[in-house]
Structure 1
Amino acid sequence: MDARPGAAEDRAAAPEPYRLDPAGGCPHAVNARLRAHGAVAPVTLPGDIEGMVVLGHDALRDFLADPDVAKGPQHFAALAEGRIPEGWPLRTFATVPGMTTADGADHRRLRTLVSSAFTARRVEALRPRVETVTKGLLDGLAEAAASGDGVADLRRHYALPLPLGVICELLGVDPAHQDRLHHLSSLVVATDTEPARAVAANRELVALLGAIAAAKAEAPGDDLTSALIAARDEGGDRLAQPELIGTLLLMIIAGHETTLNLVTNAVRALCGHREQLDLVLAGAATWADAVEETLRWDSPVSYFPFRYPTRDLTVDGTLIPRGTPVLAGYSAAGRDTDAHGPDADRFDLTRTDRAKHLSLGHGPHYCLGAPLARMEAAVALEALFTRFPELDLAVPEAGLTRHAGFVGNSVRALPVRPGRAAR
């Protein structure tokens, strides 16, 4: 029960829940509409499940760090009541075993097992490898453009294979599995996947990861999967088999989908704001600046599932009942005028508060791979525009097809004209 003065009036005046479109679309117009009612808004999720989204920067920051907010599926009221079917498109986000659905000591245990692979020192040691991979991908982008009347899909030929190849290399996954892993993970994270297909994709992905783990158990290597298997086989409570598969699933999906969208969105933003690109090329701003401003201005993740209040919780004057599935509105928080000023909708590399964003999370579940994502994106942008300074979009921004689903925020393809390579 909310004992705040005026709480009943707040609830009476609450807006009707906004029905999120499972097919996705550009989130920014929706965010502006929802944000007009406050920092927290009711939404209807697929299957007519009632939820909430936290949109305001300060409200989201505090919510993500609140000790009365949990990630464990046992706190999801509709799931506990049997109202979430197996083919529900967001079920994997809620139930996959691993650090994204763990709290407290369990979360710390699972996070510790993989955190050493993503320290600043380990990530910096990967930079030469990332630069080498990037150079090869640029050759492929140029070849694709040459055979495509000067146009190539930057997302397919560049933004995707870089992070996917790097995370698979860290995990010791055979490159032959990469295309299938991306296809299946895309179906898992899309919110418009038909239920039967979602179930089939989840099962195939779990089976494939199980086969990869079994092969690593037979022939261990110097990779993260082998280290996780060793932790599982040491006994005790360090890692259970479902947690192993869930951790691999998380590493594969989060390890490439976020960076894929980040690089794609950054190229779109820089091509659409040539004066900002010129600042970087002239040395008046850095590629790291471009990465941070993209994270703020066009977050690679729009509405991330799920967190659940473990008691009735009032956030910025709005009651969120215990057990409600809550989405983190990263794309909305990045353009919150209360946090970023009246020009929050403007892409500006000279902004002094560009790093003040929540697009990689906050609190105990802050993105473990943030240093790797930032490094990969900065290397990718610098290499791309250094080699192809005239690169531009081959179709207008309005002609780009949006990402499937409302979790990820990007476009499905990014046709570009690389232009002449720098001498």
Structure 2
Amino acid sequence: MATSVCPYAMDLTGSDLAGEAALLRRDGPASRVLLPGGVTAWAVTRHDTAKRLLSDPAISKDASLHWPSLKDGRIDDDWPLHHWVTAKNMLSAYGAEHTRLRRLIAGAFTHRRSEALRPQVVQHTAALLESLAQRPGDEPVDLIADFALELPIQVICELFGVSEAERPQLRHGLSESFRTSATAEEVRAAQESLHQVLAELVAAKRLAPADDLASALVWTRETDGARLTEQELVDTLLLMIGAGHETTVNLLGNAIVELLSHPDQLEQVVHGATGWDAVIEETLRARGPAAYVPLRFAVQDIDLGEHVVIRQGDPVLISFAAAGLDPEQHGPDAHEFQVARPNRHDHLAFGHGVHYCPGASLARLEAAVALPALFARFPRMRLARAVQDLEPTPSFITNGFREIPILLDPESAA
């Protein structure tokens, strides 16, 4: 085995997702890996295998149906990733149940609906940039905390009617839930906090419905309870708010770092030789904002070739970010960020098949508004720290940076 040890112990801190993926990719179409609590799974890092499995009905997201270890009680809430496999929403559903749950929110995230949000995205972007402009140009600011995080959390919280007062608790709970090095106790505390704030949100919308998606879901629950249980309501809100901002945070942050690290490519974009859509798609391909999303399960034995057979009931991890770096799909320079790459659209950053991310159009819209506005407002900004010294998010689920210290105008002190 290329990894030398089988199963390979996953780096729970996500310190080098790309390097780890390259290591696993050499093993074959899938590699045996070790997750927290001694759980073994198959990791898929090749583009062709990932795409095949993402659209194969022989792979399920429903652990309650298709993971013997959960059904038999060997996996309980002492497992740090328990919440990823027991939530009752479309992310963890299979077949007709998935279709039912997805249909409830699909209409809210069409391309047309996303475009209707453009004025709000423009407004929020302008306000954040104005706030940044008040800071000394030669003192570092964190573009994660002060820009890349703020924009999507404002947009998604307004969309779902989450008040300003509720957002800090929501933000902290989501951050802890994505931190895969967290203990089971830390994750349970985070999940309890999240469910508390969302239960209070649901109660508030019952008393005073508004023109937002949380009110719409509550209305669905109240008028047709057979279509949406109380747990499904809360867990759907958790999924949509969490996924609706986390992916965009990393998309913005990763694009900013890549452009500042490649000034020649930034110049092409700024002068119109390459479009901002190319920046967005190449970032999604080469620096995909989501890595692994636990877990999928084999409904039956699946023969992947090369003497690799996933047995019925085996857990499967598919890396969306790793698929974008597969040299078999994107060429020997797949690891390089190139905005002029001709096949940059051929990525799996938002998934594939029935679980394709419904918020993809909104994430692209936010990036398409925010990135050109940021670079136009601060054309001389520079990284305040070498790229290799930037800390990744402490997770093998998300693929981004904890902070991006920037000098907005390093020449202003001269």
TM-score by length of 2: 0.96
**For residues 312-351 of structure 1, what are the structure 2 equivalents within 5 Å?**
312-317=301-306, 318-351=308-341
1:255 is the counterpart of 2:253: no
Question: Partner of 2:57 in structure 1?
Answer: 67
Amino acid at match of 2:204: A
Q: Distance in 1 between matches of 2:288 and 2:96?
A: 30
User: How far has the Cα of 1:138 moved from its partner?
Assistant: 0.8
1:235 is the counterpart of 2:212: no
Question: Partner of 1:7 in structure 2?
Answer: none
Measured on the aligned residues, the alpha-carbon RMSD in Å equals 1.7
User: How far has the Cα of 1:236 moved from its partner?
Assistant: 4.6
Q: Distance in 2 between matches of 1:155 and 1:66?
A: 36
Q: Distance in 2 between matches of 1:361 and 1:15?
A: 29
Structure 2 gap ranges (5+): none
1:141 is the counterpart of 2:129: no
User: How far has the Cα of 1:15 moved from its partner?
Assistant: 6.2
Matching residue within 113, 116, 119 for 1:128 = 119
CA displacement, residues 169-197 of structure 1 (integer Å, 9 cap, x when unaligned): 01011022112111101111111112212
What is the total number of aligned residue pairs between the two structures? 409
Matching residue within 402, 405, 411 for 1:415 = 405
Matching residue within 28, 35, 54 for 1:38 = 28
1:363 is the counterpart of 2:337: no
Instruction: Tell me the secondary structure at the aligned position of residue 293 of structure 2.
Output: strand
Contact kept? 2:169, 2:193, Cα under 8 Å: no
Contact kept? 1:156, 1:413, Cα under 8 Å: yes
1:222 is the counterpart of 2:205: no
Amino acid at match of 1:222: D
CA displacement, residues 115-134 of structure 1 (integer Å, 9 cap, x when unaligned): 11111111111111101100
Contact kept? 2:382, 2:410, Cα under 8 Å: no
User: How far has the Cα of 1:150 moved from its partner?
Assistant: 2.0
**Segments ≥4 residues shifted beyond 4 Å:** none
User: How far has the Cα of 1:64 moved from its partner?
Assistant: 0.3
1:287 is the counterpart of 2:279: no
Question: Partner of 1:300 in structure 2?
Answer: 289
Contact kept? 1:89, 1:188, Cα under 8 Å: no
Matching residue within 252, 257, 262 for 1:273 = 262
Structure 1 gap ranges (5+): 1-10
Amino acid at match of 1:409: N
Amino acid at match of 2:304: V
Q: Percent identity?
A: 43
Matching residue within 356, 362, 379 for 1:389 = 379
Amino acid at match of 1:164: I
Instruction: Tell me the secondary structure at the aligned position of residue 32 of structure 1.
Output: helix
User: How far has the Cα of 1:402 moved from its partner?
Assistant: 1.5
Amino acid at match of 1:88: W
Question: Partner of 2:45 in structure 1?
Answer: 55
Amino acid at match of 2:379: P
Q: Distance in 2 between matches of 1:56 and 1:27?
A: 14
Instruction: Tell me the secondary structure at the aligned position of residue 139 of structure 2.
Output: coil
Of stretches 79-88 and 409-418 in structure 1, the one that deviates more from structure 2 is 79-88
